[in-house]
Chains A and B, each alone.
Chain A
Amino acid sequence: TAGITQAPTSQILAAGRSMTLRCTQDMRHNAMYWYRQDLGLGLRLIHYSNTAGTTGKGEVPDGYSVSRANTDDFPLTLASAVPSQTSVYFCASSPEGGTATYEQYFGPGTRLTVT
């Protein structure tokens, strides 16, 4: 199985432009997450979705939006990119229930540079 796929792998984006980072999982996990990773700051949660049709804000949600129309897809949109959004973005998913409730599985990441 593919697990979690992210697209694109990398992107250079002009400031002020919009972009959608794609994330798809094939594990039928209910919960999905978007993180950004910056040097020295670890991974910070941007938005999350506990189940299809619901979303919530994480630690650093400003400038980002998400949607969860179905179980498999969780796109992240930057409406008007700014240089401070230059980062590596990781999508993750987690099963629901039982002892595996908290385990999160990560995709390969998208490296975004905003110029």
Chain B
Amino acid sequence: GENVEQHPSTLSVQEGDSAVIKCTYSDSASNYFPWYKQELGKGPQLIIDIRSNVGEKKDQRIAVTLNKTAKHFSLHITETQPEDSAVYFCAAVSSGSARQLTFGSGTQLTVLP
């Protein structure tokens, strides 16, 4: 099955700086890669996703890049703000039954004011 590794497990940045979180996946047939943000005591919230037919996608301060050859994808947050502090999870669709996501272990992002 699919295996997703995520790094780093914790990340601290100064407000206004950029943050980058990286994930690798094992199943070359995976074709959908979402990113979730989870605030304390809440469920994960989908913030951006990318499909295998594109290499980059942006939404305001958030961008995701995908390198299918190397089987890795990254989340980029620019001009970070304190409200960006949360746990971020990457995921990939497994080659098993349709729509099953395999998640990375998460990155605790702290934006220091």
Contacts and interface: CB of A to CB of B under 8 A. Distances in A.
Interface of A: 4, 31, 33, 40-45, 48, 50, 56, 58-59, 90, 92, 94, 99, 101-109
A90 B99 contact: no
Contact of A42 (B49, B98, B103): B103
Nearest to A90: B43
Contacts of A103: 34, 46, 49
A42 B44 CA distance: 11
B44 A45 contact: no
A102 B43 contact: no
B109 to A, nearest CB: 15
B60 interface: no
A105 B46 contact: yes
Interface string B73-113: 00000000000000001000100011111111110000000
B89 A94 contact: no
Nearest to B101: A104
